[in-house]
């Protein structure tokens, strides 16, 4: 769901932030992979903390998307840096626990990875349907048109 709202979350802060967010976000998954090599297993309480923090960053991204084209701190360097940090940290905070959970499942269940993959794909399907409904059917987001002046 997060990729489908990137234009509404990042674009109000400018072309450069949108570009950096879309280019650097796949690198965050590489960073998650490196973290998984260094520390493949974490205690369950840390996994829960990471998921809660990731859910909080996702909620902030959704809030910014709903406030588009005039989200908080738009047209400021502080806002641009903050949204980029939140955007990229969301990939780490939700990607790393998913990797650790996959490691647990791979270790303790003979066919668990199949069902984990099914669940991940099903979650992607549900997120895509929700995104489509939010964007196309209900028109909950408004895009910021480049080079147009806004009174925010």
What pLDDT is stored for residue 29 in this prediction?
95
38-50 residue pLDDT tens:
999 999 999 999 9
How confident is the model at residue 151, as a pLDDT?
Answer: 85
At residue 147, the pLDDT reads 80
Between CA 99 and CA 102, with CA 42 as vertex, the angle to 5 degrees is: 25
Q: pLDDT under 50 in the chain at which residues?
A: none
Q: What is the pLDDT of residue 80?
A: 97
Q: Which two tokens stand for residue 99?
A: 């990797």
Q: Return d(Cα 65, Cα 119) in angstroms, integer.
A: 26
> What token pair was written down for 103?
């490691």
Residue 39 confidence (pLDDT): 96
Q: Nearest CA to 10 among 152, 127, 148, 141?
A: 141
**Is the full-model pTM beyond 0.85?**
yes
Domain ranges across the chain: 3-137
């Amino acid at each position: 769901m997060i990729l489908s709202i990137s234009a509404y979350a990042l674009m109000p802060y400018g072309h450069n932030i949108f570009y950096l967010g879309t280019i650097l976000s796949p690198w965050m998954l590489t960073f998650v992979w490196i973290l998984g090599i260094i520390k493949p297993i974490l205690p369950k309480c840390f996994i829960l903390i990471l998921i809660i923090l990731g859910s909080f960053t996702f909620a902030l991204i959704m809030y910014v998307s709903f406030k588009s084209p005039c989200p908080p701190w738009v047209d400021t360097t502080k806002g641009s840096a903050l949204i980029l940090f939140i955007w990229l940290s969301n990939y780490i905070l939700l990607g790393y626990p998913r990797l650790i959970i996959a490691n647990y499942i791979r270790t303790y269940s003979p066919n668990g990875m199949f069902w984990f993959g099914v669940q991940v794909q099903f979650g992607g399907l549900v997120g895509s349907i929700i995104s489509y409904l939010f964007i196309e059917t209900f028109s909950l987001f408004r895009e910021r048109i480049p080079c147009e002046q806004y009174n925010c």
